[in-house]
Amino acid sequence: MKDEAAEKFGGTKDVETSHAFDAARLEQYMQAHVDGFEGPLEVRQFKGGQSNPTYQLITPNKKYVMRRKPPGKLLPSAHAVDREYRIITALHSVGFPVAKSYCLCEDESVTGTMFYIMDMVEGRILWDPHLPDIPREGRRPIFEAKIETLAQLHKVDYVSLGLEDFGKPGNYFARQISRWTKQYVASETQSIESMNKLMEWLPNNIPGDDETSIVHGDYRLDNMVLHPTEPKVKAVLDWELSTLGHPLGDFTYHLMQWYMPKDGASTTSLMGSDLKDLNIPTAEEYTALYCRHTGRDGIENMDFYIAYNMFRLAGILQGIVGRVRDGTASNAHAAAMADRVQPLSDTGWAFALRAGAV
């Protein structure tokens, strides 16, 4: 069994016409702003990256990565590459595994939109959580490395990094529910009853256990680069949704891999898989690992958190559907997201019912 998603989304391609820019102009900019840069420059586009077009910048001696805002009509507050640049620069300074950043360019005359440049971190990007290309004995250690890295993020002292204004401390779930409700409505292409019920129920049933840490916002297997041979996270990628927020919101989003319907956000859900045979932790075992690394006794209100994350993920995917409608989606597979919003919404409402919704 091969990791088919890696073949579909991994690697690079020629730059799409809609995302093309003047490479010579970028090379001039890098000559002036990237320490140690030596041309000539070749530009490729990564196949993955639903939101911000991501490019591989190849020189004779080194590879870089550029993330830029897409051209065209954009949703409010989306595609915040300047926030990505800020958070990875801060985290790199304390040894958290992220790529080294070089520069943020807000001058839109260079490529047409704002962008930043960072190191290309070499290693493995895996897409299928069943880890079909990994020997059985090597799977659990990868999951252990993933959750230890997330716990490490949640323990970072964001105030000491000057990130106290990177988000609003407190009331994270209320703000996120409001944000994704607005973005969902702005991108809505059909009326989904379960989504409408979630948007009404969630803001009135938020648990009272408020706390604040840096949150990644989209922490999952294919948003990290693993060491070429060891079960070690070399770099966490795609910080577009990062902010200050509730660590349990971040963790339980990551936990969605165990609960997502097969026809939801991913065709590679662990739901229904024989985890013991695969040597992959169960959701309960994974939760216990996270609690151990963060000093928690356990996690209450899990049904609320799962309902919330199904809603949030449905909102994110609906945003991609909306960008297909508006002609600004940056992934050839984005149109397929339309069929995945309802299953996520329905699953989210099922967990809301378990949490006491009527």
Please compute the mean of the pLDDT values over residues 156-177 and round it to a whole number.
94
Q: What is the pLDDT of residue 10?
A: 66
Please compute the mean of the pLDDT values over residues 328-332 and round it to a whole number.
61
Contacts of residue 84, Cβ cutoff 8 Å, sequence gap at least 6: 52, 67, 116, 238, 239, 240, 242
Q: What is the pLDDT of residue 99?
A: 98
**List of E strands, the chain:** 12-13, 42-46, 54-58, 63-68, 101-105, 115-119, 213-215, 224-226, 233-236, 243-245
Q: What is the pLDDT of residue 3?
A: 55
Query: CA 210, CA 214: separation in Å to the nearest integer?
Result: 14
Q: What is the pLDDT of residue 50?
A: 54
Query: CA 303, CA 137: separation in Å to the nearest integer?
Result: 31
**Is 335's pLDDT higher than 60?**
yes
Q: What is the pLDDT of residue 329?
A: 61
DSSP code for 14: P
Looking at residue 195, its amino acid is M
Residue whose pair of structure tokens reads 């595994």 in the numeric block: 97
Q: Is the dihedral of CA 153, 159, 162, 165 positive or negative?
A: positive
Residue 279 in tokens: 């040597």
Task: Sketch out the chain's domains with CATH numbers.
Answer: 9-119 (3.30.200.20)
Per-residue pLDDT reduced to its tens digit, 36-85: 999 999 999 998 655 688 999 999 999 999 999 888 765 555 568 999 99
Letter string b/e over residues 45-65, b meaning 16 or more CB atoms within 10 A of that residue's CB = bbbbbbbbbbbbbbbeeeebb
Query: CA 224, CA 145: separation in Å to the nearest integer?
Result: 11
Confidence of residue 18 (pLDDT cuts 50, 70, 90): confident
Residue 198 in tokens: 């979630």
Taking alpha carbons only, the member of 198, 154, 207, 208 closest to residue 177 is 198
Note whether 215 and 244 are within 8 A (CB): yes
Per-residue pLDDT reduced to its tens digit, 7-16: 556 689 999 9
Q: Hey, which residues does 103 pair with through a beta bridge?
A: 117
Q: What is the pLDDT of residue 266?
A: 52
Note whether 84 and 240 are within 8 A (CB): yes
Query: CA 147, CA 115: separation in Å to the nearest integer?
Result: 30
Note whether 272 and 263 are within 8 A (CB): no
User: Half-sphere exposure of 45 toward its Cβ, with a 13 Å CA cutoff?
Assistant: 21
Residue 103 in tokens: 């520069």
Per-residue pLDDT reduced to its tens digit, 273-313: 999 999 999 999 999 999 999 999 999 999 999 999 999 99
Please compute the mean of the pLDDT values over residues 325-354 and round it to a whole number.
81
